[in-house]
Structure 1
C-alpha cells in the first residue's frame, strides 16, 4: 500500500475505494456515526450561517452603497470583505446537499465550488489584515495608506489580493474531484486527491501559515498598537467605543478559527500515524475527529456572520473612533 492510495480534504479525512479503514481488532470502520451527525448538523448550521450571513453582509453593502461617493480606504476594504463573505456563504448549500445525500453536481462543479470557497476564504482573511494595517497607519501615525481622492488605487490593491487568492486555489482546481468513499458507505463526495504525502503536508502547512498564523499575528500586532495609542490619549466616548470594537474583532477572529486550526493540526498528525500499520487507530478516535472537524469548520464559517454585525454597528453609529480618518481628525468620519 502506497501513500497515493489515500485522499484528503482540508476539512475531513477520507479514503478512496481501494482502502478500507480498519480498527485495531480488524473490523471495518465505516464512520456511520459521523455521517449521521453530518447529515443533521451541517444542513441546520449551514442554513443558519447562510441566512444570517447574507443579511448581515447585505446590510453592510447597503450602507456602503448609500455612502458610495464618500467611501474612505477602510470602507473599500470592508466592501470587498463583504463580497468575499457572500460568495463564500453561497457555496454552503452545495456542502449541505453533500452531507444529506451525495455530491450530485459532478467533478466540474466540485472544482468550481471548492476553488470558489478557497478564494473567498483567503480573501476574507487578507481583507481583515488590510483593514488592521490601514487603521494602524491612520490612527497611530495619522498617515493614509492610499489617497481617499483616488479610490481606484485601493480597488487595485484589493484586486491584487483577489488574484493572489486565485493562485492559492490552484491545487483545488487540479486535485478536487468527486469519488465514492468506501469508508463512508461508498458515498459520493467532493474531495481532493493528492499524488503524494508531500502535497498534503504542503497544502496543510500553506493553510496554517497564510490562513491563520500570519493573519493572526498581523491582526494582533496592529490592533494592539491601536489600543495602546488610544489608551495613552485623552479618554472620550469615541475612543472607548473604538476599544470595544477592536476587542470584539480580535476575539471574534480567534474564537471562530482557533478551534478549527487546532483540530486540523491533530487531524494531520493522526493522518501521518495512520500510514504506519503499527499505529492503527480505533473507530471511536476517527469518529470523534470527524465530528470535531465538522463542528469547528461550521464555527469558522459563522465568522462570516459575526464580523459584518461588528462592522455594521461601527458604520451606522458614526461614533466609533475606529472609523475616523486619523487621530488628529477624529470627527471627520466617512459616514
Structure 2
C-alpha cells in the first residue's frame, strides 16, 4: 500500500519510473546501476492469487456472519467489520496487477478511487483491531461493561467511528493522487505533491504505531489476567483475537517500517539499492497476504466452524457420523441389558 507511486507498489515495473526514483530522487543511483530483478510478473501473479483466496474466504465468512452469526455479540460485530475491511482492500488487487503488467489504464478518477479504497481498507483494519483489543481489555481486565447490550452498542459505535476516520484520513491523499506519466511516457497512478509525504508520516504515526502501542499494552494486561483463570471459552476467544491482531502486524509491520525508513534514508550504492528493491517486493507480498489469512483464524471459533459446515452442506456427513456413533452406543447398551436379564 504505497502512496507515492501507484497507491500500491514500490516495485520497478517495465522499466518505468519507480517509487524510489519518482519520489525519493534515486535517479543518480538507479541510472548508474544495472537493471534490477523484474518482480512485475511475480508480484502480479501473487496479487491475483491473494485476491482469489481473500474474496473466497472473506465472502464465505461474511455470509456465515450475516446468516448464522449472532451480531448481538460484540466480537462477532467486530469480525463482521474486519471482514468488510479485508474485502474493500482485496477488490483493488486485480487493478494494481494490471498496472504492474502494463500501465495505468483506469483513468484519473479510477486512480483516486482505488487509492482511497486502499487506505480505507488499511486504516479501518488498524482501528478495528485496536477497538476489539480495547473491548477485550475492558471485558477481561477491568470487567466494567454494565451489560451485554451496552457492550454491543459501544462496539457498533467503535465500528462506525473506524469507518469515518478511515474515510476522512484517506480523502486528502486520494485527492492528490492522479494519472500522470513517468520518464518513459507510461501512464502511472501517483503523486509528486511534497505535502503528501508529511501527511503520510503523520497518518502512519497516528494510525499504525499508536494503535500498536495500545494493543501491546492491552494484551499484556489481558494475558496476565487470563493466565490467572481457567475459563476455557473466554481463553479461546482471547487467543483467536490475539492471533488476528498478531497476523496483521506481522504482515504489515515489515513493509510499513521499510517504507518509512526509505523516507529518511537513500541508498548510496547499487548493491544496497538492489537489495532494498528485492526486500521491498517481498515485504509488499507479505503485507498483502494479510487479507486472506484472517478467515483461517476466525475458524478457531467452534460456532463459526459449525455454521460454515452448515452453509457448505457438510453437516449431513457430520450428522450421519453422529447417528452412527449413537446407534453403536445404543446397540452396545442393548447387549448389556440383554446379558443382565439373562443372568
TM-score range, shorter chain: 0.7 to 0.9
SS across alignment from 1:143? coil
- Structure 2 vs 1, CA of residues 9 and 98 (structure 1 numbering), >3 Å: closer, same or farther? closer
Distance 1:93 1:30 in 2: 31
Partner of 1:81: 82
1:208 has 2:209 as partner: no
Number of residue equivalences: 293
Partner of 1:94: 95
SS across alignment from 2:139? helix
1:191 has 2:190 as partner: yes
Partner of 1:169: 170
Partner of 1:311: 298
Partner of 2:338: none
RMSD, matched Cα: 3.1
Q: Deviations over 1:183-228 (max 9, x none)?
A: xx4432211221x3xx244133224313421121122111221111
Distance 2:161 2:231 in 1: 38
209, 213, 218: which is aligned to 1:217?
213
Of 255-264 and 68-77, deviating more is 68-77
Distance 1:213 1:241 in 2: 27
Q: Is the 8 A contact 1:129 1:218 kept in 2?
A: yes
List runs of 5+ in structure 2 lacking aligned partners.
Answer: 11-18, 307-343
For residue 242 of structure 1, report the CA deviation from its aligned partner.
Answer: 4.5
For residue 240 of structure 1, report the CA deviation from its aligned partner.
Answer: 5.3
Alignment of 1:129-278 (within 5 A): 129-144=130-145, 148=149, 154-182=155-183, 185-194=184-193, 196=194, 199-233=195-229, 235=230, 237-238=232-233, 241-242=236-237, 244-271=239-266
List runs of 5+ in structure 1 lacking aligned partners.
Answer: 1-6, 272-279, 320-335
SS across alignment from 1:189? strand
Tell me the TM-score normalised to structure 2 length: 0.75
SS across alignment from 1:179? strand
Distance 1:145 1:124 in 2: 27
Distance 1:159 1:146 in 2: 20
Distance 1:112 1:29 in 2: 36
Q: Is the 8 A contact 1:177 1:193 kept in 2?
A: no
Q: Deviations over 1:315-334 (max 9, x none)?
A: 63699xxxxxxxxxxxxxxx
1:293 has 2:253 as partner: no
Tell me the TM-score normalised to structure 1 length: 0.76
Larger relative contact order (CA 8 Å, sep ≥ 6): 1
Of 245-254 and 157-166, deviating more is 245-254
> For the pair shown, which has the larger CA radius of gyration, 1 or 2?
2
